[in-house]
Structure formats: structure tokens, C-alpha cells
Amino acid sequence: MSECFRHNMEAFKLPIDRGFDLVVTRASQHIGINARAGDPAIDRPILLQVKSVQITEPPTREANREIWPCGFPIKAVDVDLLCRVPDSALVCVVFMLNTSDYSSGRTAYAWWIPSARVAEMKAGGYFLPHPDDPDKLLLSAQLRKNKQLYVTLLRANRKSGGTATGHTVAPEQFDLSKLCTGTLPALP
């Protein structure tokens, strides 16, 4: 919610769990000298499903990269709802523990996936069956760091039955100010 506030949006927590966690608006942009009333990008509310995980394990190393695997469990009915509601998005948040001799804290990395992309990902095998719950799916990701941090989403490998690298999350998806306002590169 605070990230939405930081980008001049209003965020409201929904009191019941019916597939969406937050309603985000840009109503404040209708007020003042630079008002943008009538702009479709700000006139409609956006419904968000928020999923988060915490990484506490150290990374594995591959070549010159550090890799942290993570997974986001999500109800299958919620994935279907995200696919059906055009003004919605899935927001994934990863909390990483940072410790040193002098301090301890958490860093959050968040990215959003618009409804249309969720539908493409569902069709492309990115939402895998959850190993412990038949009513849930699992969106698997890897945070990777060589010189900078980036996120790769994994998809089903139909040949081996395991997972394969799907695509890297686009940099603009880490900017909540661009939430559902543009087109993203095509999936591989």
C-alpha cells in the first residue's frame, strides 16, 4: 500500500478475501492545476491480488550469479478471476533478509503483472500445480543477481516435466507508478 501512496495513488484494503486484496485509484489526479480528468489511465480503479514470500536462505551460485528461488502460491480460482477482470493485476513481493555485523533488516522487491499477461502466462504454463494443495497453483520465480538484481519467471517444461526459464520480468513492472498503463514485451 505504501508504494501506491508513494506514487500518488490511493489504496484501499478490501475487508473480505474474494480474490482481490486492494483497490487502487488515481482519484487525487483529478484535483488541482494539473488535473487529468477524462484520462482512461486514471479514471478506472485497479484491483490487486498481492502475493508475498520471504527469503531467508542464502543464495546458490551459478557462474557469476547469485540465485534465490521462490514460489508464490495462489488459488486457481484467483488466477481465473485475474484473467477475467481486465482492470486487475497480480503483485508479487519478495522480502529478503539483509544482515551484517552492524545491522539487520529486510529489503522488499515488488513487481506487477497485468491481467492480460496473467492470462498469457496461464496459457503458457507459468502457473504450475501446487505440490501440497490441489486447489492452488504455484508461480515459481528466481531472483538473480550478477551486477544488478532481476527476476526470472519459470514455466512448465513439457518435455521433461520440470521447469524451464520462461522470461525475465520487464524493468517497468517494478515501477508501480506504471501499473496497468502500458504494454509489455511479448512472452517468449
Does any domain span residue 125? yes
Strand partners, 47: 23, 88
C-alpha cell, 126: 507459468
pLDDT of residue 137: 95
d(CA 29, CA 39): 10
How confident is the model at residue 13, as a pLDDT? 77
Q: What percent of the chain has pLDDT over 90?
A: 30
Q: How many Å is the maximal CA-CA distance in the chain?
A: 58
State how far the Cα of 102 lies from the Cα of 174, in Å rounded to an integer. 29
Residue 122 — pLDDT band, cuts 50, 70, 90? Answer: very high
Please check whether residue 184 lies inside any domain of the structure.
no
Q: For residue 97, what pLDDT is reported?
A: 78
Condensed to tens digits (0 to 9), the pLDDT of residues 66-107 reads 899 999 999 999 999 999 998 889 999 999 877 766 777 788
pLDDT on residue 78: 95
Give the pLDDT score at 177: 74
Domain count, the chain: 1
- Asked, for residue 10, whether it belongs to a domain, the answer is no
Instruction: Tell me which residue range forms the domain holding 84.
Output: 51-178
Look at residue 181 and tell me whether its pLDDT is greater than 70. no
7 lies in a domain?
no
Task: Please indicate, yes or no, if residue 121 is contained in any of the structural domains.
Answer: yes
30 in a domain, yes or no? Answer: no
Q: Does residue 12 form part of some domain?
A: no
Asked whether residue 36 is assigned to any structural domain, the reply reads: no
Residue 23 parent element (H or E): strand 22-25
